[in-house]
Amino acid sequence: MHEVKEVGTAELKYADKTYSYPVFEGSEGERAIRMGSLRQDTGLINYDPGYGNTGSCISDITFIDGEKGILRYRGYPIDVLANDCTFIEVAYLLVHGHLPNQSQLTHFSRLLNRKSLIHEDMRNFFKNYPEDAHPMAILSAMVVSLSSFYRELNMSVEEEIDLTVARLLSKIRTLAALSYKQSIGAPHVYPSSKLTYVENFLNMMFYTPVANYEIDPITVRALNKLLILHADHEQNCSTSAVRLVGSSGANLYASISAGICALWGPLHGGANQAVIEMLEQIHREGMTIDTCIARAKDKDDPFRLMGFGHRVYKSYDPRAKIAKKACEDVLNTLGIKDELLDIAVQLEERALSDEYFVERKLYPNVDFYTGITLRAMGIPTNMFTVIFAIGRLPGWIAHWLEQRDDKDQRIGRPRQIYTGPVKREIVPIEDRPE
C-alpha cells in the first residue's frame, strides 16, 4: 500500500484545552484528520451516522471525485476501461493492481475455466428453494456454502490467491445462472471451456436443449461493459460490509456473502430492479412525468425517483453516462423499442431542470439505465442485482485482500451514544403495573 503524506495539523478546542491532530493527504489530494485517539484524549466520539465523513481505511484501489464525476480503478478512467478492456482484465487489475500481460491473462482465463464447475452436491441445494425465492437470497447462501466445499487457501501465496479469486469469480457466475434455471424449472446448463467468461454466463442462462441459442456478440460486449461499470466503487455499503465482516477474521466466502446481502437493498444494488419496477409502474398506471416528479419530491409519499441521487456524486455519475449510451446502442442494434427507455429519458430531462433535484444535486446514477439494457438482453428483473453482484465481486475481493495486509486495520467496531434508561432496579413481577 502506498504511503500517505503528512501535510499539517488540525486543532480541536474543547473544555479549555486544545488538541492537535495530524492531517494527511492521499495521492489525489484528498485530506483527512487522523483522530484515532480522539476518545482517549477528550472523552468524545465522532458522531457520523451513515459515515458520510468517516474514512475507514487508506486504499490504493479506486478513486472517486464526486464533485467532478471522476471514477478510476487503479488510476485508469472508467470510460477507458469500459471501452478497451474485458471484465476479466478489469477483475485482474482490481485484484493485482496492474493490468495482466498476455501470459497472465491466459493463465487467469484457464483458471477461470478450470474452476467454473460447482460441486455436484451443491446443485442439490437449489432444489430445496421455493420457486419464487429471490436469486439474491440463493446467491448469498450459495456463496457462503462454498466455504464448506472448498477449503480456505493460504492467501499470502500469490498462486493460491489467484486460485481462490478464480474460484469465486467463476463459480459466482455458475451459481447465478443455476439459480435462474432453477427458478424457471429448466435443466441446469454446465459451463463450457470453449466460451469466454461473459459468453459462458449467457449460455448457462439461456441455452436450452430444445431450441437454438446463439450467443450474440452485441450482448456480450454490452454485458462486459456493465460488469466493468460495477466492478468497484470504493467504500460503498456492500464493500464496507465485506471489510467489516472480514475484519473479524471471517473467511473470504463469508465476507463476500455479507457483501451480497448488503448489495441487495433497494438503496444500493437493488436499485436496478427497483428502477425497472418504478418505470413499469409509471407505464402501467399511465402516470405523467409531472406526477412522478411531484411524488418524488413529496416527503409524505414513499415514492422516490429510484436510480437518482448518490452519496458521493454531486454531479453526473460517470457510470450512468456510459450505461445510458450502452443502453441506447444495445436497443438500436438489436432493433428493440422499449417504452420504458422513453419514460426514463423524459424523467431524467424533467428532473435535471427541476429546482428540487438541482438544489440537491441529484443526478441519474449507474442503476438508472442498466436495467433497461439488461431487459433488452432478456435478463429477468429479479436477476438484475445478481448481475451487479457478479460485477462487484472483483472489487470486494480486492478490498478484502487489501484490508488483510493493512497494518492499520483492527476489528471494525463503531461506538454509539446511548439514550436508553439509566440504571434501574428490577421490580418483582407481582409489583409490575399491568
* Of residues 234 and 328, the one with the C-beta less far from ligand CMC: 234
Pick the stretch among 34-42, 300-308, 395-403, 415-423 that binds ligand CMC (CB under 6 A): 300-308
367 binds ligand CMC (CB under 6 A): yes
SS (H, E, C) 259-301: HHHHHHCCCCCCHHHHHHHHHHHHHHHCCCHHHHHHHHHCCCC
Q: How far is CA 408 from the centre of its chain?
A: 24
Residue closer to ligand CMC, measured from CB, 100 or 395: 395
In angstroms, the CA 293 to CA 303 distance is: 9
Q: Which is nearer to ligand CMC, 174 or 236 (CB)?
A: 236
Measured from the CB of residue 165, what is the shortest distance to ligand CMC in angstroms? 22
Near ligand CMC in 324-343, by CB under 6 A? none
Cβ proximity to ligand CMC, 108 vs 308, nearer residue: 308
- CB-nearer residue toward ligand CMC: 276 or 305: 305
* Binding span for ligand CMC by CB under 6 A among 93-101, 127-135, 219-227, 364-372: 364-372
Sequential DSSP letters for 190-250: ---TTS-HHHHHHHHHH-BTTB--PPPHHHHHHHHHHHHHHS--SS-HHHHHHHHHHHTT-
Q: Is 31 left (phi over 0), alpha (psi -120 to 50) or beta?
A: beta
What is the per-residue DSSP string for 384-414?
HHHHHHHHHHHHHHHHHHHHHT-TT------
Q: Is 364 in the site for ligand CMC (CB under 6 A)?
A: no
Task: Name which of residues 269 to 298 contact ligand CMC (CB under 6 A).
Answer: 269, 271, 296
Q: Which residues are catalytic?
A: 310, 367
Residues in the chain: 434
Residue list 5-64, contact with ligand CMC (CB under 6 A): 50
What is the C-alpha to C-alpha distance for residues 156 and 339, in angstroms, rounded to an integer?
A: 51
345 within 8 A of 299, measured Cβ to Cβ:
no
Selected binder of ligand CMC within 86, 140, 170, 236 (CB under 6 A): 236
Minimum Å gap between C-beta 311 and ligand CMC is: 3
Instruction: Identify which of residues 109 and 236 has a Cβ nearer to ligand CMC in the complex.
Output: 236
Q: Note whether 309 binds ligand CMC by CB under 6 A.
A: yes
Identify which of 391, 357, 384 has the alpha carbon closest to the alpha carbon of residue 236.
Answer: 391
Residue least distant from ligand CMC (Cβ):
309
Is 365 one of the binding residues for ligand CMC (CB under 6 A)?
Answer: yes
- The position carrying cell 425465492 is 133
Residue 267 binding ligand CMC, by CB under 6 A: yes
Tell me how far apart the alpha carbons of residues 271 and 317 are, in angstroms, rounded to a whole number.
15
Pairing of strands 31-33, 76-77: unpaired
Shortest reach from residue 275's CB to ligand CMC, in Å? 7
Find the binder of ligand CMC among 227, 362, 377, 390 (CB under 6 A). 362
**Segment contacting ligand CMC (CB under 6 A): 202-210, 363-371, 376-384, 426-434?**
363-371
Residue in 306, 326, 340, 383 binding ligand CMC, rule: CB under 6 A? 306
Instruction: Decide: helix, strand or coil at residue 415.
Output: coil
Backbone angles phi, psi at 30, to 5 degrees: -75, 140
Cβ nearer to ligand CMC, comparing 245 with 306:
306
Q: Which residues pair with 70 in a beta bridge?
A: 65
Residue from 360, 378, 405, 408 binding ligand CMC (CB under 6 A): 360
CB of 266 to ligand CMC, least distance (A): 6
* Shortest spacing between CB 140 and ligand CMC, in angstroms: 16
Of the candidates 307, 391, 394, 395, which one interacts with ligand CMC according to CB under 6 A?
307
- Cα four-point dihedral sign 189, 190, 194, 199: positive
Cell numbers linked to 398: 480486492
Interface with ligand CMC (CB under 6 A), residue total 20
CB nearer to ligand CMC: pick between 206 and 264 = 264
Q: Which CB sits closer to ligand CMC, 362 or 401?
A: 362
HSE, CB side, 13 Å, CA atoms: give it for residue 275. 31
Contact 225, 318 (CB under 8 A): no
Tell which one of 304, 314, 325, 350 touches ligand CMC (CB under 6 A). 304
CA geometry: angle at 152 spanning 151 and 153, to 5°? 110
Considering only residues 115, 134, 181, 310, which one is a binding residue for ligand CMC as defined by CB under 6 A? 310
Q: Please report, as ranges, the residues that interact with ligand CMC according to CB under 6 A.
A: 50, 236, 267-269, 271, 296, 304-311, 360, 362, 365-367
